[in-house]
Chain A
């Protein structure tokens, strides 16, 4: 029993460092690079992904035993796309301000390979409860990564964090960091840091 509990905890925690989707697994880099121009954008994208990932993991783990393996990918994508559309519609209807900021990124979640990756690697082989935990863990790890990336780029690029001016630059910040090359630069350092942390915590 105790062992099982440990196991569950590990399923939840592995998404943060050990199997961090962005810094270790290098999955879902397209939305990562594209949306992390500010901490808030990163956080919003992360949370939207977290929701879709948890829900799709749950549903896919339920239906996986009944899906013939040759059509599993299209079936999973239909499930994922449905949840993305639901998020898109509900956000548009009830949180128009948030939708204005994130609207263009929401459809991108469908093509985020973190979600299909977790469906294929975890949800299709595990029970619904573990799959929810996995979705939450990996989703939170993804959210954390995007927020950190966005925060670093916002601080260096605009001298702000969550839109609050830090007054560290006279005038504008180092503009390259809010542009595409800055995304790659910061990501590279983050990947190095992530691996260092992983080594320290889990050994080689």
Chain B
């Protein structure tokens, strides 16, 4: 073993300075080279989600997206609105919404509305719900989220049946089901407040 460096104020400061400087430099390089691909991967993910929750469109909803405040204040609680058009006609609006009431806290949902307010489809974007239980909100795991397709929240009460609503909750995952409804309701409230005519033409 090589001789140990003595712990003096100077040697300790110098060591920490060098170690952190090298680490910071290395991370800066990695960050620089992964920044582009990360942005692309996130965009691709968002685009795929949009294609699943909206009818066919030919514009770029991400480029035309807009953020609107929700009922909770703060930058991370804003909703994102993605208008989808075919030709010049608005065919639907996707809203990236969220809930804080999940079993493991927040999860994000992308929900697509037709111009008359009918839900076209919805998909959970990121969640940490319990595997085997709450994760059935994911359309790959169960058909729970598909029951909303084609329903209009004006007539379809976005609450689980136990609470007097129209939603068939996931067995043993009522909290996750409630949270999903909460996210959709938040999106619908935002959708109602939108002035759709500004997206036409």
Contact of B131 among A70, A74, A158 (CB under 8 A): A158
- Is the interface on chain A under 10, 10 to 19, 20 to 34, or 35 or more residues? 35 or more
CA distance A49 to B196 in the complex (A): 49
Do the beta carbons of A75 and B30 come within 8 Å of each other?
A: no
Interface flags, A53-90, vs B, CB<8A=1, else 0: 00000000001011111110011001101100110011
Do the beta carbons of B130 and A178 come within 8 Å of each other?
A: yes
Taking the complex as formed, is A9 at the interface, i.e. its CB lies under 8 A from any CB of chain B? no
Given contacts A89-B30, A90-B30, contact A69 B4 (CB under 8 A): yes
Do the beta carbons of B23 and A78 come within 8 Å of each other?
A: yes
Do the beta carbons of B128 and A92 come within 8 Å of each other?
A: no
Q: Give B116-162 interface residues, CB cut-off 8 Å to A.
A: 126, 128, 130-133
B29's nearest neighbour on chain A, judged by CB, is: A86
Q: Please indicate the chain B residues that have their CB under 8 angstroms from the CB of A125 in the complex.
A: 1
Taking the complex as formed, is B63 at the interface, i.e. its CB lies under 8 A from any CB of chain A? no
Q: Please indicate the chain A residues that have their CB under 8 angstroms from the CB of B41 in the complex.
A: 92-93, 96, 99
Stretch of B13-21, B68-76, B84-92 at the chain-chain interface: B13-21
Q: Please indicate the chain B residues that have their CB under 8 angstroms from the CB of A86 in the complex.
A: 26-27, 30
Q: Please indicate the chain A residues that have their CB under 8 angstroms from the CB of B38 in the complex.
A: 89, 92-93
Contact of A178 among B1, B27, B126, B133 (CB under 8 A): B133
Taking the complex as formed, is B201 at the interface, i.e. its CB lies under 8 A from any CB of chain A? no
**Cβ of A191 to closest chain B Cβ, rounded Å:** 23
Do the beta carbons of B128 and A67 come within 8 Å of each other?
A: no
Q: Please indicate the chain A residues that have their CB under 8 angstroms from the CB of B23 in the complex.
A: 78-79, 81-82
Taking the complex as formed, is B198 at the interface, i.e. its CB lies under 8 A from any CB of chain A? no
CA distance A94 to B37 in the complex (A): 7
Taking the complex as formed, is B31 at the interface, i.e. its CB lies under 8 A from any CB of chain A? yes
CA distance A175 to B130 in the complex (A): 10
Taking the complex as formed, is A100 at the interface, i.e. its CB lies under 8 A from any CB of chain B? yes
CA distance A179 to B172 in the complex (A): 12
**Cβ of B17 to closest chain A Cβ, rounded Å:** 10
B6's nearest neighbour on chain A, judged by CB, is: A68
B23's nearest neighbour on chain A, judged by CB, is: A82
Taking the complex as formed, is A28 at the interface, i.e. its CB lies under 8 A from any CB of chain B? no
Q: Please indicate the chain B residues that have their CB under 8 angstroms from the CB of A69 in the complex.
A: 4, 7
Do the beta carbons of A92 and B132 come within 8 Å of each other?
A: no
Q: Please indicate the chain A residues that have their CB under 8 angstroms from the CB of B26 in the complex.
A: 82, 86
23 pairs of residues in contact across A and B, judged by CB atoms under 8 Å: A37-B132, A38-B131, A65-B4, A67-B5, A68-B15, A70-B12, A71-B15, A71-B16, A75-B15, A75-B16, A78-B19, A86-B26, A89-B31, A90-B30, A94-B37, A96-B44, A125-B1, A172-B132, A172-B172, A175-B132, A178-B130, A178-B133, A179-B130
